[in-house]
Amino acid sequence: MGDSADGGISGGHEPLRLPPTLQPKRRRDTRWARPIIGVAVLAIGAVVASSLLNHEVSKRLATVPIEGTTTTSPEVVTTTTVAAVAVTPKGSGARSTRRAPTTSTPAPSTTSTTVDVPPETQSEVIAALDKLAVADEHSQAGKYGRFGYWRDDDKDGCNTRAEVLIAESSETVERTVACRILRGKWLSPYDNAVLTDPIEVAIDHVVTITEAWESGAWQWTDIQRNDYVNDLEHPDFLVAVSNAIKDTKGDKDPGEWLPPVETYRCDYLRAWVHLKTVYKMSVDPGEREAIAVGALHC
């Protein structure tokens, strides 16, 4: 048998043909559908993402107060027991205990290197006073901004003002979890005013900011001045008092003003001399004379 010209099988036989059901099926060309599917997936994803975003935005908007309206703070009002101690009334010679920051800040380089012991007796006050430099006050008035603001040295959420309020309250204070003081009980030692609303309470630097500036702080760095403002190491340097008596005191030194409560004056003079000793501040002549005379009654 020979081969035909078209490559078929010779001999008059037709080529073998499979029945339609057994013939291989042709593959459909689906390449055109892939882009459509991709677009559909992206569209569905965009719809889902948009829905989730709108839901999240709605949730957040529900918690944002509208300007000019009030809203309940998310802070939880709680009664704290941290550092709340019974404080012996001032003027009795006893000092309240105050929690100093766990990470203490270094004292300014201008401070004394001697043992830091507050003067107690009349002779100790006079001896400490005699060691202070006598000089006229520096003429340039200090600005509070140069001393900075309250800090939170131990990172417990309570700044220096709050720490003093907690320590000097004779009752356990009420505060928020963010350490906003809501209520307590404070005896202002300068005028014996009893206060329960912290808004009525001021934290007095025994040696005021301006007095400190005029007595040597003008030479310090900003960091050293801010350390002074936030000194919790010495319980007698910062005192919770009434706003009214703090306004009366102003920036006066002992030559110009002493607490109206006479039984507290010796404590006040001790704290004044102690503070000026620790920070190596000077005293002016009138100030020194007033302290020396006042100490005779201690």
Cα 271 to Cα 229: distance, rounded to the nearest angstrom: 15
Asked whether residue 241 is assigned to any structural domain, the reply reads yes
For residue 200, list its beta bridge partners. none
Asked whether residue 49 is assigned to any structural domain, the reply reads no
What's the pLDDT score for residue 138? 82
Q: State yes or no: pLDDT of 229 exceeds 80.
A: yes
Under 8 Å between Cβ of 245 and 190: yes
| Mean pLDDT across 117-133 | 91
Number of domains forming the structure of the chain: 1
Give the range of the structural domain holding residue 140, as residue numbers without chain letter. 77-84+114-295
Asked whether residue 188 is assigned to any structural domain, the reply reads yes
pLDDT band with cut points at 50, 70 and 90 for residue 144: low
Note the helical H segments in the chain. 33-63, 122-131, 160-168, 209-214, 222-229, 243-249, 265-278, 285-295
Under 8 Å between Cβ of 215 and 254: no
Handedness of CA 153, 143, 207, 182 (dihedral sign): negative
User: Amino acid identity of 191?
Assistant: D
3-state secondary structure of 35: helix
Q: What is the pLDDT of residues 36-68, one digit of tens each?
A: 444 444 544 544 444 443 444 333 323 323 223
pTM for the model stands at 0.65
Under 8 Å between Cβ of 80 and 177: no
Asked whether residue 150 is assigned to any structural domain, the reply reads yes
What's the pLDDT score for residue 199? 98
Asked whether residue 34 is assigned to any structural domain, the reply reads no
Dihedral angle computed from the Cα positions of residues 135, 137, 139 and 145, in that order, rounded to the nearest 10 degrees: 130
- Looking up tokens 């009752």 gives 171
Under 8 Å between Cβ of 245 and 206: no
| Mean pLDDT across 197-204 | 98
DSSP 193: E
Query: Which long-range CB contacts under 8 A does 76-80 form with residues at least 24 apart?
Result: 76/176, 76/177, 77/174, 77/175, 77/176, 77/182, 78/174, 78/175, 78/176, 78/177, 79/172, 79/173, 79/174, 79/175, 80/166, 80/172, 80/173, 80/174, 80/175
Asked whether residue 103 is assigned to any structural domain, the reply reads no
Q: What contacts 240, CB < 8 A, 6 or more positions away?
A: 164, 165, 168, 186, 188, 201, 202, 203, 204
Asked whether residue 96 is assigned to any structural domain, the reply reads no
Asked whether residue 124 is assigned to any structural domain, the reply reads yes
Q: What is the pLDDT of residues 240-270, one digit of tens each?
A: 999 999 999 999 999 999 999 999 999 999 9
